[in-house]
Structure 1
């Protein structure tokens, strides 16, 4: 499924709460987590930041790049590592299948995307467990924190349905 130009502006609107960059610290992030939260990070910088805070994401989706520059992924011991190809501005059926499967595995799980991971926030929000909190970066603005609810699942699904 490819992202049509008509949807680009809609995807610039955060799916959840936007924590400005200067407030995206451990204390403010923890305020939005429950003790049993299944934390999902999408993006290398977000994943690295959470690991540095000692908040190990259950599922981490990275592509080895930050703002189009190659970066070494953050170190993490004992993670199950998966790989999937997902071209920029697309969501492949394989990516959706791997994400669904990742939710059945013992955390932490790291999904390395060959291509681009940005849009994978949508299938994550649709298929994540009910106790999930999804974190992703909003470029040059801050950190988006999404608590998975039926409304979020429906919103993500309706955006996905508009992709070609």
Structure 2
């Protein structure tokens, strides 16, 4: 995931106003990563789906606080995308938001199945280490590009 799937907002320009430029009124906001999720909650832009693993740059951390989220848990080893993870992501999209998926293992690559299975009005946000925040508007083009990446990984 060295190449961002969407628009990269540099770390020093990541603000609520900057992020809102890429959101519509009914955007289904999805965050992947503890720091990204925490940042969005702090901006009062509550993600409909949050995928976290209780770590940041491989260091344990306290998960972002959020009341009233439905919590799901899944095992997903580093550098993998398990079929269980894909099933839980699909299930999360059918539930009343906010939904939080806590990953035992690593959540980084789960950006890919999220982009394939997300609803039409979805915007996915994830961190690009040492660079900033990536914002991906889900379009048919993004779905096809990501599906091709997933097919190459099998």
Give the alignment's TM-score, normalised by structure 2.
0.99
> Equivalents in 1 of 2:31, 2:125: separation in Å?
5
> Equivalents in 2 of 1:140, 1:29: separation in Å?
18
> Equivalents in 2 of 1:72, 1:103: separation in Å?
25
Structure 2: give runs of 5+ residues left out of the alignment: none
Structure 2 SS opposite 1:162: helix
Superposition pairs for residues 123-162 of structure 1, below 5 Å?
123-162=113-152
> Equivalents in 2 of 1:121, 1:69: separation in Å?
20
> Equivalents in 2 of 1:143, 1:18: separation in Å?
6
Question: How many pairs were matched up?
Answer: 154
4+ long deviations beyond 2 Å: none
> Equivalents in 1 of 2:67, 2:122: separation in Å?
22
Cα deviation for residue 64 of structure 1 reads: 0.1
Cα deviation for residue 34 of structure 1 reads: 0.3
Give the alignment's TM-score, normalised by structure 1.
0.93
Cα deviation for residue 84 of structure 1 reads: 0.1
Q: Which residue of 2 aligns with 1:70?
A: 60
